[in-house]
Structure 1
Amino acid sequence: MNGSYSNASESSSSSLNSSSHDTEDDLTIATVLAEEEKQKSDGRLGKRLSHLDSIPHTPRVNGEIPDVNDATQDHKRLSERLATYDLSELQIEGDGNCQFRAIADQLFRNPDYHKHVRKQVIKQLKHHRKLYEAYVPMKYKSYLRKMKKKGEWGDHLTLQAAADRFGAKICLITSFRDTCYIEILPKDRNPTRELWLSFWSEVHYNSLYATADVPTRSPRKKHWLF
């Protein structure tokens, strides 16, 4: 009996260790990819678009989703802006994880690392509660539980937490009528990289590239379109 229990425990422990090693290997690979891509693309878009004026970023939870007519008009406005600056979107799946997928693509050139990005953002929000709590119009623990869930939409607060966690300046080209460009800067250090996203206001995030540099990857599922 004890021998069987011991064998089962060893097997379970071995399985957990194997899973842990796999996760560590994935994150090591992701880190290497991030550094390689950072060296290739550092400041490329920033230099091209340095003339754009940004507005101060206010962390906040999501607002109301626009109706079909407003969303369609917003998307047209965003598309025209991207064309003006010779930018193109890598289309990201519209599965509720789009913000985290777009950030993962910018960091690791792989949207599938979105679970890691979400986990790191939640860790930042949890361990530095005083920085973010005032922006959450609900019980903070309830907000964290909600944001942990796969498919829960990211908001402007998770963008700030991502900027803080990864030491990144997050640059948003938006579909807002009066706000073309938003910069989210880390609160406690100088950014070491830039992440470029398009933001179809309150609807969807995509990963941004200079038109000539868009990767050939394509989403496995249809992205947001009306």
Structure 2
Amino acid sequence: ASMDSGGNMQSNEERNAEKQMDNYLKTIGFHRKKIAKDGSCLFRAVAEQVLHCQSLHTEVRAKCVEFLKQNRDSYEAFIEGNFEEYLSKLQDPQQWVGEVEINALAVMYKRDFLIFQEPGKPAVNITDNNFKDKVRLCFLNGNHYDSVYPITHMKSAALCQSILYELLYEGVFRVDRGSLGPCQRTSRASDLLSDDCMAVCGSSDESDQETHEPLWWEKTPRCRVENGTGSVSSRPGSYRGRGRGRSLPERVRRSLNPTLLRNVDYDIWHKTKRAQQKMDYSIAAGMQFSVGDRCQVRLDNGRTYKATIKDVPPDNSLVAVQVEDLGKKEMVPLWSIRPLNDENSWTTVTNRDKRLSNGHGEWEGRGRGRGRVSQATAVGSSGRMLKQHSWPPQATVE
């Protein structure tokens, strides 16, 4: 197994299935646009294709629940178990869905659902209501829906996106056109249509505090700054500025590129997922560490030191550690602390039956499955683990 471009654990079989599907779709003039890998992937895709706004997926889900409730006689026979309990669970944004919901959405929005399931085979009209408009999806690896668009749509969307960002950065942020020009070029045969198959955009700092990320960076490789002691030190520099000589962050450069569609919703989901994983880790680490424990700590200067835990607050806030080499106490967040591990000092952290890969922030269980540990699971509550309906809907994903 390995990581995909979004930092998710992915087996070789899954990766090959996606590659084969993408190659097939390209030959017939279509492109698979990645959707967030959570319980709302179907509703996200429908919200984007029907309402032209993926963030309305919660509204689509709520309307689907209400539609099923009002048309109970038509759908109850296809539901396993108690109908009211099923609808109650369906309101959960992380609850996976299947063919029942697809049929309901088709009638709600008067669109048939064409679903690509196997490379080399045409899409299956799963609803077949003879509606003129369609929703095109790709169902891969038995547990996830992505959107499918004509390649012409992807190219047009990329151009429109670049125009919007150009207006934003030049007209609102007052960035000099000289800084925008390098991002805008003519298309090439080898160009990617979307950035969701590229590596995710890096953060401005390791803690992913992207609310502080500058709009653009100073191009000069190093700058001289006061270090607070009256002396001057040299370090890589960056600060807000306008005009020539600045480099825009990677996210902005992708958005300004008229030949590449930046998958904004997928990017935002990935950032949110990492924030949740950081919270999950803090809870798990807080359970693991106690006063007097030896550990490693990474400080703001990027260096790692051996330290001793002096205080672990009950609210998982800053932890007090005594840094031996510096001879002083530091207050640090839980995600800056790791157990002492001679084999792999900063790459993995062990916590009972789970481990966290710090390179990508993905929880991995010892058993099968790809789902990350939820906050409730990390603290040992009785929260249920949600399973998505496979194809057909009676099957489940283990």
Q: Is the aligned partner of 1:195 residue 2:243?
A: no
Q: Is the aligned partner of 1:154 residue 2:97?
A: yes
Could you give the per-residue CA deviations for residues 57-103 of structure 1, whole angstroms, max 9, x where no partner exists?
A: xxxxxxxxxx9465344334422331221211222111221100000
Residues of 1 paired with 2:117 and 2:93: CA distance? 24
Q: 1:210 aligns with which of 143, 150, 164?
A: 150
Q: 1:166 aligns with which of 100, 109, 130?
A: 109
SS at match of 1:221: helix
Residues of 1 paired with 2:101 and 2:41: CA distance? 12
**Identical pairs, percent:** 23
TM-score of the two chains, using structure 2 as the length reference: 0.36
Residues of 2 paired with 1:192 and 1:123: CA distance? 24
Q: Is the aligned partner of 1:181 residue 2:229?
A: no
Residues of 1 paired with 2:117 and 2:109: CA distance? 22
Give the RMSD, CA atoms, in angstroms. 2.8
Residues of 1 paired with 2:66 and 2:132: CA distance? 20
Letter of the 1:203 counterpart: N
**Number of aligned residues:** 157
SS at match of 2:145: strand
Bigger CA radius of gyration: 2
Change (3 A) 1:141 1:71: farther
Residues of 1 paired with 2:105 and 2:141: CA distance? 18
Change (3 A) 1:146 1:211: same
Report the more deviating stretch, 155-164 or 127-136: 127-136
Residues of 1 paired with 2:92 and 2:121: CA distance? 30
Could you give the per-residue CA deviations for residues 19-68 of structure 1, whole angstroms, max 9, x where no partner exists?
A: xxxxxxxxxxxxxxxxxxxxxxxxxxxxxxxxxxxxxxxxxxxxxxxx94
Correspondence list, 1:72-221, <5 A: 72-175=15-118, 180-185=122-127, 191-214=131-154, 215=157, 216=261, 217-218=263-264, 219=266, 220-221=268-269
Letter of the 2:117 counterpart: T
Residues of 2 paired with 1:77 and 1:134: CA distance? 36
Is the 8 Å Cα contact of residues 133 and 140 (structure 1) preserved in structure 2?
yes
Residues of 2 paired with 1:77 and 1:156: CA distance? 24
Residues of 1 paired with 2:67 and 2:121: CA distance? 27
Letter of the 1:200 counterpart: L
Change (3 A) 1:179 1:211: closer
Residues of 1 paired with 2:20 and 2:111: CA distance? 27
Change (3 A) 1:158 1:212: same
Residues of 2 paired with 1:78 and 1:127: CA distance? 37
Change (3 A) 1:137 1:71: farther
Letter of the 1:211 counterpart: I
Change (3 A) 1:140 1:77: farther
Letter of the 1:132 counterpart: Y
Is the 8 Å Cα contact of residues 164 and 186 (structure 1) preserved in structure 2?
no
SS at match of 2:269: coil
Shift of residue 159, structure 1, vs aligned partner: 0.5
Residues of 1 paired with 2:115 and 2:17: CA distance? 15
Letter of the 1:74 counterpart: A
Is the 8 Å Cα contact of residues 171 and 183 (structure 1) preserved in structure 2?
yes
Please list every run of 5 or more consecutive structure 2 residues that lacks an aligned counterpart in the other structure.
1-9, 158-260, 272-369, 371-398
Change (3 A) 1:74 1:180: farther
Is the 8 Å Cα contact of residues 170 and 184 (structure 1) preserved in structure 2?
yes
Correspondence list, 1:36-51, <5 A: none
Please list every run of 5 or more consecutive structure 1 residues that lacks an aligned counterpart in the other structure.
1-66
Could you give the per-residue CA deviations for residues 105-130 of structure 1, whole angstroms, max 9, x where no partner exists?
A: 10022110101110111111111112
Tell which has more relative contact order, 1 or 2 (C-alpha 8 A, sep 6+).
1
Residues of 1 paired with 2:144 and 2:126: CA distance? 17
Partner of 2:330: none
Residues of 1 paired with 2:97 and 2:121: CA distance? 19
